[in-house]
Structure 1
């Protein structure tokens, strides 16, 4: 499942990069990952009352938090794909369970 998700995110990201003229060099993957952590932090600050909500409803805040979490997950998987990382094996080593993939 992780391998399939990595490929799906890669295909979507590659198409987006071509459409918008983005060069995804090796540094781009880690820099985008860091950018997405910042965006998730910003969404969390809004949800937790530490940031301006700009009149967003609780539903919009929740959706923003989910969207930014999805972006972060996508960029973790893109980073793993680009660097040919075996995340399932790493999960087994680090978290001590075999992911149900």
Structure 2
């Protein structure tokens, strides 16, 4: 399941990089992951009243949090894919369950 998602995120990311002249060197994966953690935090702060809401409704702020969380997940999987990490095995080892296929 996650291996398929990794390939899907990789294809989408490579297409975006090609279209925008982005070089995805090894550091890019970690730096993008850090950027996305910051964006999730920012969305959380807005939703919980710890940041400027920018006139957005609660529903819009929840959608923003979902969008940023999706970006974070994508970049976690991109980092894993780039480094040949077996995330399903790691989940089984660390969380003690096997992701559904």
Q: State TM-score, norm by structure 2.
A: 0.98
Q: Does 1:69 align with 2:74?
A: no
Residue aligning to 2:23? 23
CA distance in 1, matches of 2:71, 2:65: 10
Poorly superposed stretches of 4+, deviation over 3 Å? none
> What is aligned with 2:42?
42
Residues in 2 aligned to 1:62 and 1:35: alpha-carbon distance in whole angstroms: 19
Aligned to 1:88: 88
Report the alpha carbon displacement of residue 99 of structure 1 after superposing the two structures with TM.
1.4
Q: Which runs of 5+ in 2 are unaligned?
A: none
Q: How many residues align?
A: 101
Shift of 1:71: 0.2
Deviations 1:43-99 (A, max 9, x none): 000000000011001111011000000000000000000001000000011111111
